[in-house]
Chain A
Amino acid sequence: MKNLTEMLKGVLEGCLLEIISRGETYGYEITRRLNALGFTDVVDGTTYTILVRLEKNKLVNVDKRQSDMGPPRKFFTLNEAGREELRLFWAKWEFIASKIGELRPDRALPPHTQPQTLPPVFAEPEQRLSIPQNLFCEEEKSHV
């Protein structure tokens, strides 16, 4: 899918942590992996900037080794702080995905509670109004 850049920001860092957690890897390989997943807009430079940040924040171990061709290549593995960050990422992701899933108009309310007589244009805002009270208050406790 294309034009995801803005929405992907922040999430990509977690994706990289996950990919690195599965075994030593390097920038080019990570980019290929993300492209294969369907993130076709991700280029080497995107991966690179995130790797620079992960390294600066000391979430990865970096091993610079001579590769078969070209300049020495940086190989990345997760360190303890990185694994903790990855765990936090999945917890945050779980929360975001479930909350946004609840906001989706087609999933907001069970079908039988939707007003049958109103055309969809009027039905929508009403559904939205009825969401906050029952969902947001309790959920916060269980996730924090």
Chain B
Amino acid sequence: MKGIKFVLVGILFGIIMSKSEAISWYRIQEMFRFQSFHMFGIIGVAVVLGAIGTALIKKYNLKDIGGEPIKFARKEAGWKRYLYGGTIFGLGWAMTGACPGPMFVSFGYGYWMFALAILTATLGTFVYGLVKDKLPH
């Protein structure tokens, strides 16, 4: 059962998202109204520590637990897909108050309505798959 560790990290992530209140629709509204530092602080600390850790892993060529060198995928160059797709995602993020991870955490928390958001988000990805060749990237 080498998959169990991913379940455990997922559980940890779900608890963090819940207790940090990052899954809260109210917190996302507060963020998009710039009325509290809370969400900016969470993301900011994660990014600063993430950047330090990423730089250290690269500098010392650290390996993962399987002994393979750790590689960080580079995002393909360009801007259209990031700006357009990002804006569409942002429109939805402020509506549901949840990015993809928190949808599932909120569902587990007992807010069953998120099952509907998960369903339509999956449908959204499906429709993207149908029309992607017609979209600028």
Q: Real complex partners, A and B?
A: no
